[in-house]
Amino acid sequence: MRILVINGPNLNRLGKREPTIYGKETLEQIMETLEEKAKGLGCEIVHKQSNHEGDLIDWIHQAETDFDGVILNAGAFTHYSYAIRDAITSISLPAIEVHLSNIYARESFRHTSVLSEVVIGQISGFGKVGYELALRGLLHYLKGEER
């Protein structure tokens, strides 16, 4: 199985940006760890990051031909991008939404996710481990294992 991991705006600043909230590891370090976990689970991940909404949308569209599922940390786009929401609904792949911090324990504008209704699940507040939880959950779903 192949899984596309998409990271949105400002996630390229991990390790520097508010480390008390987002941790001290860089996105590359987190993705390297996730790649190792994926190998152990018998799958492959490809990860991409952009600060541009259109890139995320294009990657979601392209995922349908080359991947089995999507893990998406849309960053701030989570709270208002109907275009990304529509991109998710336009493909036949399952997607999981990930957030490093607990978006419901932060500023009120972060409490709303316009994506949550169109993904199979959301993982929030577990830091870098959230990506592994999303990967395990997505593989569980793809294999049709009981919930």
Which residue out of 22, 79, 104, 140 is catalytically annotated?
Answer: 22
- Residue-wise pLDDT tens digits, 13-46: 988 877 777 778 899 999 999 999 999 999 999 9
pLDDT at 111: 64
Question: What residues does each domain of the chain span?
Answer: 2-98+116-142
Asked whether residue 80 carries a pLDDT value surpassing 90, the answer given is no
- As a whole number of angstroms, the distance between CA 10 and CA 14 comes to 7
- Residue-wise pLDDT tens digits, 119-133: 999 999 999 999 999
Which residue out of 61, 79, 82, 99 is catalytically annotated?
Answer: 99
Q: Are 106 and 76 in contact (CB under 8 A)?
A: no
Nearest alpha-carbon partner for 26 in 49, 1, 46: 49
pLDDT at 82: 97
Tokens 């190998």 sit on residue: 39
Asked whether residue 105 carries a pLDDT value surpassing 90, the answer given is no
pLDDT at 12: 95
- As a whole number of angstroms, the distance between CA 107 and CA 134 comes to 24
* 131 is a catalytic site residue: no
Asked whether residue 65 carries a pLDDT value surpassing 90, the answer given is yes
* 22 is a catalytic site residue: yes
pLDDT at 109: 65
CATH homologous superfamily of 2-98+116-142 = Dehydroquinase, class II (3.40.50.9100)
Mean pLDDT of the chain: 92
